[in-house]
Amino acid sequence: MEQKQQVIAWYFLAAFLVILTIQNFFIQGHVESLPYSEFKALLHAGKVKEITLTEQAISGSLSDDSLEGLVAKETAERLKQLGKGEHLFTTIRVNDPSLVQDLEAAKVRFAGQVESKWLSTLLSWVLPAVIFVGIWQFAIKRMGGGAGGLMAIGKSKAKVYMEKETGVTFDDVAGIDEAKDELMQVVEFLKAPDRYRRLGGKIPKGVLIVGAPGTGKTLLAKAVAGEAGVPFFSMSGSEFVEMFVGVGAARVRDLFEQAEQKAPCIIFIDELDALGKARGMNVVGGNDEREQTLNQLLVQMDGFDTHKGVIILAATNRPEILDPALLRPGRFDRHVAIDRPDLNGREKILLVHSKQVTLAPSVELASIAARTPGFAGADLANLVNEAALHAARAGKDAVDMEDFDEAIDRVVGGLERKNRIMNPKEKETVAYHEAGHALVAEARPNADRVGKISIIPRGIAALGYTQQIPTEDRYLLKRSELLDRIDVLLGGRVAEELVFGDISTGAQNDLQRATDMARHMVTQYGMSESLGLATFEEPRTSAFLNIPVSQQPATYSDRTAQAIDDEIGKLLADAHARVVKTLEANRGNLEALAKLLLEKEVVDRATLDALLSAQAPVGKDSDSGGETTAHRPSDQREPG
């Protein structure tokens, strides 16, 4: 707001200076104001050439001769500086009966003039006021985003992209083939509506695209418009709601009016949850501006006719909080869910984003896709960009696998902290910690293979990490596999106990993840022998965001809660015992791997294989399970 006020002040100051300059230099020129006595002296000396008489003033011109002695010294100096030529003057008219006789005696040409009050008022007040109002309107229009300023506050702020302006087609969208197939029907309807109408079919009024952040919801909507070749109205849900009551509803009406004028077209509302949150969730009151805007949207979706070719697309990553009235048939009829891409999808997305990047022949996109489980499309785009930036900083001609390795480490673990210097004791602790993770992962039959071990600090608190590469995407996990994951998470903590006889704070994140996994096994997956097949409610979380949606009160007794805690403790204690057994049997490997980490700081897969083959081989334990979350580093924290 302060910036807008400053802009207005600068506009008014500039306008004032412009008007003042025009009056002084282009309209009036330089007019010297003289006392009446000096005017009379100049008149008797024959220096006055001609004058004009009004009721209140006398104005005229003087000859360019020397005026010294006739006027004040300062006045003579000012007139002298103006150079040769006629000099204009003005003076106040006094009651002088002999003035006309003196003018005739000096043979001065004189004339009378009647002043027009309304004309002088117009020139002195109205004209500058008109100029100022014009500048004010211009400033308000600029601050109003070019839509008419305050008078257009109820106008829609939707950005309209015509056929070729979206610049996105289905060729730019990869990894979400099922969603593309669903939305292809919308494209076919917009291109050939009669194909559906002749059989009596109706295209859905609205399509709701749901998915995690970065999975390509907005990109997919733009691709639909680009493929169909129709105008594309793009607007965020938050742009409807303003502090003024009724503005949001007015903008909804205006948006649909514009869309019907440009039909066939597509209306896209991004972040629909900002507008379509379920009514009654506001603790302050139910009749607020947002709910009025939502009501208007519901009415407009009921009122417009799909035969005109207006399709509504919306995107959100929080579908669970949307108003049920929005989701019923007749409004958002079809829901398209976009999940994180699988292995093949990630490879296709990497192929799309690497088209503009010069890749070295050694780059294997399939290998990069295998190392990035859980990455969304935006994550993969960022990964390719980071690799290209790393290669550019190194002065390379092409992006190679080394650049992608560094980019994966940076995206997963954070920025390398080269300026963080650990003392030798802490560095040794981190080395044994990460060696413990790696050896337990190698010893478990259901664990992913270790891809890299590092004790280089990254990010805010990670002092080291063990990276695992999954062989395939997993959607179901067995009990033995979950136990393997818990074992690997505890490997670092147990290694510290065995080597130093003491423990550090570095395992805080590992313990938290192991506890959460054990709790889920007991309360949600029915994997507890003592508690049986029952499940126990926990706070609901968003389907695509790891945030709680509502706090559910406990639906079980205190006795059951104690039994849950006991079972979680038993699972962790059993895992601890298994890991102790594994690392004691592989103490030589643990020592060798830790010393190698202290020497090189980073150990890759090939180096790890060479070390383990030289030492006693690590056997796959059959009585255990365990595996860390793929590609995520163990979050080491400094002892404190």
- Catalytic residue IDs: 434
Q: What are phi and psi of 373, to 5 degrees?
A: -65, 145
For residues 563 and 572, the answer to whether their CB atoms sit within 8 Å is no
Residue of 265, 160, 270 whose CA lies nearest to 220:
270
Euclidean distance between CA atoms 372 and 542, whole angstroms? 23
N-to-C CA span, the chain: 45
For residues 54 and 110, the answer to whether their CB atoms sit within 8 Å is no
For residues 520 and 462, the answer to whether their CB atoms sit within 8 Å is no
Q: Three-state DSSP class for 115?
A: coil
Euclidean distance between CA atoms 434 and 453, whole angstroms? 7
Residue of 620, 600, 320 whose CA lies nearest to 445:
620
Query: Which tokens is 154 given?
Result: 């109820």
The size of the chain, in residues, is: 640
| Cα-based torsion angle of the residue sequence 445, 451, 455, 456 in order, rounded to the nearest 10 degrees | -150
Residue of 513, 515, 507, 529 whose CA lies nearest to 565:
515
Euclidean distance between CA atoms 305 and 237, whole angstroms? 22
For residues 95 and 40, the answer to whether their CB atoms sit within 8 Å is no
With residues binned 3-state (H G I as helix, E B as strand, rest as coil), the percentages for the chain, rounded to 5, are 50, 15, 35
Tell me how many degrees the CA angle 357-362-366 measures, rounded to the nearest 5.
Answer: 80
Residue showing tokens 């009415």:
299
For residues 275 and 290, the answer to whether their CB atoms sit within 8 Å is yes
DSSP for 249-305 reads HHHHHHHHHHHHHT-SEEEEEESGGGT-BPTT--SS-SSSHHHHHHHHHHHHHHHS-
Tell me how many degrees the CA angle 509-431-574 measures, rounded to the nearest 5.
Answer: 50
Residue of 441, 436, 503, 500 whose CA lies nearest to 464:
436
Q: What are phi and psi of 449, to 5 degrees?
A: -70, 145
Q: What are phi and psi of 457, to 5 degrees?
A: -60, 140
Euclidean distance between CA atoms 260 and 453, whole angstroms? 59
Residue of 444, 454, 455 whose CA lies nearest to 483:
444
Residue of 583, 577, 438, 586 whose CA lies nearest to 498:
583
Residue showing tokens 């409610």:
537
Residue of 340, 339, 322 whose CA lies nearest to 331:
322
Go through 61-71 and write b for each residue having 16 or more CB atoms within 10 A of its CB, e for each that does not.
bbbbeebeebb
CB atoms inside a 10 Å sphere around CB 554: 11
